[in-house]
Amino acid sequence: MCSITIIGAGNVGAHLATALYAAGYVIRQLYSRHAERLTALQHLCQAGTTTDIHDLLPDSTLYIIAVSDDAIVEVAAQLHLYPSAIVVHTSGTVPVSVLHGFQRHGIFYPLQTFTQDKKVVWANIPLIIQGSDMEVDNLLRQIAACLSPHIYRLNDEQRQIVHLAAVFVNNFSNYLMTTAQQLLQRHQLPFELLQPLILETAQKVQTQAPDTAQTGPAKRGDRTTIAKHIALLQHDPPTQALYQLLSELIMARYQ
């Protein structure tokens, strides 16, 4: 049976550890610099834990590096493992080549935003994998299949494109929501006013392509409303600039 060591106990590491344990895998060891993150996980996954990376046992089948992007290289350099060990990272953007020091390596990138203490429906999550050879590929695919039926084998460039696209629909969309929240707050209006609309906007594109779902003043070329909105934002020139740019892009596309 394949045994797994998970390096990092942030949102991705913690959710992966519990999901893989629930899928029947042995979570051999969990590593985090933060002891407090390990305490709860240890019991959930029946795993050994350590806060010293040099204490990691070298003979697990798979090592999943689930640390922040800029720490992957440093963490990888400190791993001294059996040559048969497979080492993967979970980043959308770091090239697989940073793991070339390991003969068998790859990517295991779950495309989702994880929140601490919020349950994850793994069956809905696209898992993006990449193995250094067919055998590694197959093992990663087999493990992924225990979590989700949505498995994609992508190369570095494709994965980076997906990650960039994800920045638009997750990070940037969330910033637009923050902007809306601030605007409402400034006028003592509750954010709950927008929550159903936000949900429906997301639900719509589950069955309809977003380019056909576009509505609003810019789509209609309604310059009167656009001018009114820009005037309403005069207290906040950066947001005004954002409104202007987005409206121009939408008009350029549809008008």
CB nearer to a copy of itself: pick between 36 and 192: 192
CB proximity list for 174: less than 8 A, separation 6 or greater? none
Read off the tokens for 43.
Answer: 């019991």
Q: Which residue from 160, 234, 235, 237 is in contact with a copy of itself, where contact means CB under 8 A?
A: 160
Contacts of 205 (CB under 8 A, 6+ apart): 213
Handedness of CA 84, 103, 92, 161 (dihedral sign): negative
Residues with Cβ within 8 Å of 37's Cβ and at least 6 positions away in sequence, in order, are 9, 10, 14
Residue 183 touches a copy of itself, criterion: CB under 8 A: yes
78: contact with a copy of itself by CB under 8 A: no
CB of residue 59 to a copy of itself, shortest distance in Å: 34
Residue 39 touching a copy of itself (CB under 8 A) = no
Distance of closest approach, residue 102 Cβ to a copy of itself, in angstroms: 23
What is the smallest separation between the CB atom of 101 and a copy of itself, expressed in angstroms?
Answer: 20
Q: Under rule CB under 8 A, which residues in 102-131 are in contact with a copy of itself?
A: 111-113, 115, 118, 124-126
Query: Is 223 an interacting residue with respect to a copy of itself (CB under 8 A)?
Result: no
Task: List Cβ neighbours of 24 (8 Å cut-off, separation of 6 or more).
Answer: 146
CB of 47 to a copy of itself, least distance (A): 26
Closest CA to 241 of 252, 251, 253, 229: 229
Q: Which stretch binds a copy of itself (CB under 8 A): 29-37, 73-81, 129-137, 222-230?
A: 222-230
Spatial neighbors of 246 by CB under 8 A, at least 6 apart, are 218
Give the residue with the Cβ less far from a copy of itself, 39 or 115. 115
* Rounded Cα–Cα distance for residues 45 and 93 (Å): 28
Window 188-217: residues binding a copy of itself (CB under 8 A): 189, 191-206, 208-211, 213-217
- Least separation in angstroms between CB 28 and a copy of itself: 29
